[in-house]
Structure 1
Amino acid sequence: MTSQQQVHPERQKRVSTALTFFTVAATITGIFLVILVIRMILEYIVGMEMPDWATLVAQAHGLAYMVYLLSILNLAPKARWSVGKWFTTALAGVIPFFSFWMEIKRRNEVKQMFQLS
C-alpha cells in the first residue's frame, strides 16, 4: 500500500485501535524491563540485598511481555508486517531501551502508512 492511496476509514479505525493497544503494552513492558535491569544491577553488581517483593518485578515483566506479544499479534496482520518486523518487534520487548525505540519506530510507520493522525 502506498501513501498516496486513500485508506478506508473503517480500516483506519481498526488499525488505530490495535496501534493504541500496542503502544500501551510496549510502554508498560519497557518500564518493567528497565525496572528489572535496575534491580539486577543493584543486586548483582552493587551487591545490595533486594526485598522479597522485588522478585515480583520479573514476574510482572513476564506478564506484561505476554500482553505485548498479544498486541503484536493483533497489530501485525492488520498492518501487514513482514515476518522480520514481527520478530524484531517481539524481540524488542526483552532488550532494555530497544523496546522504547522500536515502539516509536513501529508507531510512526503505521501512522504514516494508514494516514492516522
Structure 2
Amino acid sequence: MNGALTRYRVIAWIVGVMLLLLTLVAMPMKYFGDNNLGVVIIAPVHGWLYVVYLAAVGDLARRVQWPVTRILLVALAGTVPFLSFVMERRTVAWIQGTDRQPSFTEA
C-alpha cells in the first residue's frame, strides 16, 4: 500500500501544479494577452495527467477500501486549483490514521 500512496502523492502534486499553471498562467495569457500557446500546451497535458491521477486514486481506494463518497471527493480534488494539495495531505492523514477530525465520508 505504501507504493500506491506514494504514486498518489506524486501525481496529486503534479496535477495540482499543472492546474495552477493552466489557471494562473495559461488562461490569463489567452484572455488578456491574446496568446493561446500556453493553453494549447498545458491543457492537454493536464488532462492526460488527470487521467493518471484518477487511476492512482482508484488504485489507492481499492487497496484501503474507501467508501464511494471519499473516492469522489479525492477524485474531484484534481479539478479545483489548490484543492489537490489539501486533499493530498488529508489523504495521507486518512491512510496513516492521524486524522482525528470526523468526516461525513466515513462509512
- Calculate the TM-score normalised by the size of structure 1: 0.76
- Displacement over 3 Å in runs of 4+: none
User: Pairwise CA RMSD of aligned residues?
Assistant: 1.5
Alignment equivalent of 1:111, drawn from 87, 96, 99 = 96
- Calculate the TM-score normalised by the size of structure 2: 0.83
Task: Tell whether 2:87 aligns with 1:80.
Answer: no
Aligned length: 97
Point out which structure has higher relative CO (alpha carbons under 8 A, 6+ apart): 1
Deviations 1:35-66 (A, max 9, x none): 0001213332xx11325354110011001100
What's the counterpart of residue 20 of structure 2? Answer: 34
1:109 CA displacement:
1.1
Alignment equivalent of 2:35, drawn from 33, 50, 66 = 50
Give unpaired runs (5+ residues) of structure 1.
1-14
Q: Which amino acid letter does the alignment assign opposite residue 30 of structure 1? A: G
Query: Is the 8 Å Cα contact of residues 29 and 38 (structure 2) preserved in structure 1?
Result: no
Give unpaired runs (5+ residues) of structure 2.
99-107
Q: Determine the C-alpha separation between the residues in 2 that align with 1:83 and 1:51.
A: 37
1:112 CA displacement:
2.2
Q: Which amino acid letter does the alignment assign opposite residue 65 of structure 1? A: Y
